[in-house]
Amino acid sequence: MTILQQILDEKVNKVAELKMKKATLNFDLPLYSLYDALIQKDTLQIIAEIKRASPSKGIIKANVDVVKQAQQYEAAGAACISVLTDEPFFKGSYEDLRKVAQAVSIPVLCKDFILDEIQIDYARANGASVILLIVAALESERLRELYTYANQMNLAILVEVHSVEEYERAHALGAKIIGINNRNLKNFEVDLKHTQTIAKAFSNNTDQVLVSESGIKNTEDAKMVSAYGASAILVGETLMKSENVEAALQMLAVKKVREVE
Ligand SMILES: O=P(O)(O)OC[C@@H](O)[C@@H](O)c1c[nH]c2ccccc12
């Protein structure tokens, strides 16, 4: 069984648990626009991630002070903060999401494996302005239903793809913010060339923004994915492990130069 399948199987239990709770949710925390934060910028924008652990890397920084980390990201110029809320595999929580959302004034992304509307309700109730939908994890109809639901709640949606075929499915939805995961969620292999391959399919859709996700470590990587056509990068481990978050963010915020083919 792939790791993605293991995570999704576990998530079914989590969804049942959330539904059982029948909590009253308030949707009153402010919303910030991710699209506005990413479109038409001169420098590569950064979605900085709070990631305590991951199935591929194990513990990254289990006891991080999420509020402090988020405030450093915001002060250093991050466009958005991504917070993992999956507990079994990433050691995150909705509590982390809420604490971060209440501490900053930029969009916050609820990073999870969403299968059900209730997870979108919880994301919004805990301050997310953005949710992630992973094309590889959802059948077309479910993907469309969840996309529509989140859209109706005025949330932005980062639609994650890993192949040209998945990109076509995202495009067919009318997705405006597309995440290209350089890491294969089935075997954890990372290759920044995924951004290049998929960005080629995308090059005519100028009202879409591309986010290159995973495995970005240094200025060279940032320049490379920027040249491929990314407007933004989503960075976890490199920032979590850095002693100087501000310097790390600045080294990644390169000037955008699109490669002419
Ligand atoms: O730590 P990295 O290699 O910088 O990766 C960040 C982010 O892209 C990664 O956490 C991620 C991308 N898509 C996901 C989907 C679910 C969980 C996690 C992810």
Q: What is the pLDDT of residue 201?
A: 86
- Is any ligand 1 atom within 6 A of the Cβ of residue 195? no
- List Cβ neighbours of 60 (8 Å cut-off, separation of 6 or more): 51, 52, 53, 54, 236, 237, 240, 241
Long-range contact set of residues 220-225: C-beta below 8 Å, sequence gap at least 24? 221/192, 222/44, 222/251, 222/252, 222/253, 222/254, 223/254, 223/257, 224/192, 225/44, 225/192, 225/195
Spacing, Cα 160 to ligand 1 middle (Å): 10
- Is any ligand 1 atom within 6 A of the Cβ of residue 234? yes
Each domain of the chain, given as residue ranges in start order, spans 3-19+34-252
Q: What is the pLDDT of residue 260?
A: 56
Tell me the residue length of the chain.
261
- Is any ligand 1 atom within 6 A of the Cβ of residue 96? no
- Is any ligand 1 atom within 6 A of the Cβ of residue 111? yes
CA distance 125 to 103: 15
Spacing, Cα 250 to ligand 1 middle (Å): 20
CA distance 81 to 73: 7
CB–CB of 251/219 below 8 Å?
yes
pTM, two decimal places: 0.97
* pLDDT 10s digits, 127-172: 999 999 999 999 999 999 999 999 999 999 999 999 999 999 999 9
- Is any ligand 1 atom within 6 A of the Cβ of residue 112? no
Atom number, ligand 1, closest to the C-alpha of residue 216:
4
Q: What is the ipTM of this complex?
A: 0.98
Kindly tell me if the per-residue pLDDT of 261 is higher than 70.
Answer: no
Spacing, Cα 232 to ligand 1 middle (Å): 14
CA distance 253 to 216: 12
| CATH 3.20.20.70 at 3-19+34-252, yes or no | yes
* pLDDT 10s digits, 206-221: 789 999 999 999 999 9
Mutate which of 11, 181, 189 for ligand 1 pocket (most atoms within 8 A of beta carbon): 181
Atom number, ligand 1, closest to the C-alpha of residue 90:
17
% residues pLDDT > 70 (the chain): 98
- Is any ligand 1 atom within 6 A of the Cβ of residue 66? no
| Residues with catalytic function | 49, 51, 111, 160, 181, 213-214
Handedness of CA 234, 175, 226, 195 (dihedral sign): positive
* pLDDT 10s digits, 60-98: 999 999 999 999 999 999 999 999 999 999 999 999 999
- The candidate with the shortest Cα–Cα distance to 158, out of 178, 182, 185, is 178
Mean pLDDT of 222-248: 97
- The candidate with the shortest Cα–Cα distance to 147, out of 136, 132, 137, is 132
Spacing, Cα 255 to ligand 1 middle (Å): 23
- List Cβ neighbours of 137 (8 Å cut-off, separation of 6 or more): 4, 8, 113, 114, 115
Task: Give the side-chain half-sphere CA count within 13 A for 161.
Answer: 28
CB–CB of 108/123 below 8 Å?
no
Spacing, Cα 147 to ligand 1 middle (Å): 20
